[in-house]
């Protein structure tokens, strides 16, 4: 049996022997990992490691190597060498993810959109993740891009710390990010700089906190209604 055979890992996933192991960024207690309130899920005794996939090494296989070569040339032409812009590349479950430093995000996205060899015409959205134990990278934003021209999909992930929850908005490059960035801000508190109207989209404007963060209380919140009147849509907010 060679060293490249597959076996089942402790988490129940197939892994390749000799490949880099996953990165353990914390331990989850309970269903949602909340530690400052009572667990109301019925899974309070659940304990499991929080794992992030390890970075891949070339050759990646499939179309990933050709694509990465084209991407690196495009970034170099834009003054953003790949070794500076890309923290690591992850290949997991047949999908490729580029972990990009936030200061290079707009350059990276512009290269995906405009480079003829890449041509990712669509950003399908952005979602947030909160890893409170991953110091300096507690907040993640994950973008999904689609190339209709080349029939390819890639994921881009960007991180920022809790104490500085900022990253550039991609709405000026991909307008479809508009409401997705608003929802990620509303639920996780990531501030997308350059967004035309970064206001809450699900919770009331005066809501305190961001409900999908791991440190958000699960105890419930008292809401008092006093016969409020809902104004017409054009009078609810000002975008100036």
User: What pLDDT, on the 0 to 100 scale, is given for residue 26?
Assistant: 77
- Is the confidence at residue 17, as pLDDT, over 90? no
- Is the confidence at residue 18, as pLDDT, over 50? no
Q: CATH second-level architecture of 55-217?
A: 2-Layer Sandwich (3.30)
Q: Where are the domains of the chain?
A: 55-217
pLDDT of 101-112, one tens digit each? 999 999 999 999
Residues 89/55, Cβ–Cβ less than 8 Å: yes
Alpha-carbon torsion, ordered 65, 70, 72, 73, to 10 deg: 150
Q: Mean pLDDT across the chain, nearest whole number? A: 85
Alpha-carbon torsion, ordered 113, 116, 117, 122, to 10 deg: 30
User: What pLDDT, on the 0 to 100 scale, is given for residue 145?
Assistant: 98
User: What pLDDT, on the 0 to 100 scale, is given for residue 138?
Assistant: 96
Strands, E assignment, 41-170: 47-52, 86-92, 95-100, 122-130, 139-147, 152-160, 166-168
User: What pLDDT, on the 0 to 100 scale, is given for residue 35?
Assistant: 59
Bridge partner list, 143 = 126, 156
- The pTM (predicted TM-score) of the whole model is 0.77
Residues 99/86, Cβ–Cβ less than 8 Å: yes
User: What pLDDT, on the 0 to 100 scale, is given for residue 9?
Assistant: 38
CA angle, 207 then 209 then 214, to 5°: 145
């Amino acid at each position: 049996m060679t060293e490249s055979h597959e076996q089942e890992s402790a988490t129940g996933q197939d892994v390749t022997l000799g490949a880099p192991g996953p990165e353990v960024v914390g331990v989850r207690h309970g269903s949602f990992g909340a530690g400052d309130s009572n667990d109301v899920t019925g899974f309070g005794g659940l304990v499991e490691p929080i794992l992030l996939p390890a970075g891949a090494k070339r050759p990646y296989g499939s179309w990933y190597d050709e694509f990465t070569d084209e991407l690196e040339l495009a970034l170099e032409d834009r003054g953003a060498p790949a070794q500076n812009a890309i923290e690591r590349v992850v290949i997991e479950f047949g999908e490729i993810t580029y972990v990009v430093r936030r200061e290079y995000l707009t350059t990276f996205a512009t290269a995906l959109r405009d480079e003829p060899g890449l041509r990712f015409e669509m950003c399908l959205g952005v979602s947030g993740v909160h890893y409170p134990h991953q110091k300096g990278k507690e907040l993640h934003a994950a973008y999904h891009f689609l190339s209709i021209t080349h029939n390819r999909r890639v994921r881009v992930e960007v991180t920022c710390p809790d104490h500085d929850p900022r990253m550039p908005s991609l709405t000026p490059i991909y307008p479809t990010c508009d409401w997705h960035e608003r929802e990620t801000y509303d639920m996780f508190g990531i501030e997308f700089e350059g967004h035309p109207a970064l206001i809450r989209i699900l919770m009331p404007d005066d809501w305190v906190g961001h409900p999908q963060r791991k440190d958000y209380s699960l105890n419930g919140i008292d809401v008092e209604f006093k016969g409020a009147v809902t104004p017409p849509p054009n009078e609810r907010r000002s975008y100036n």
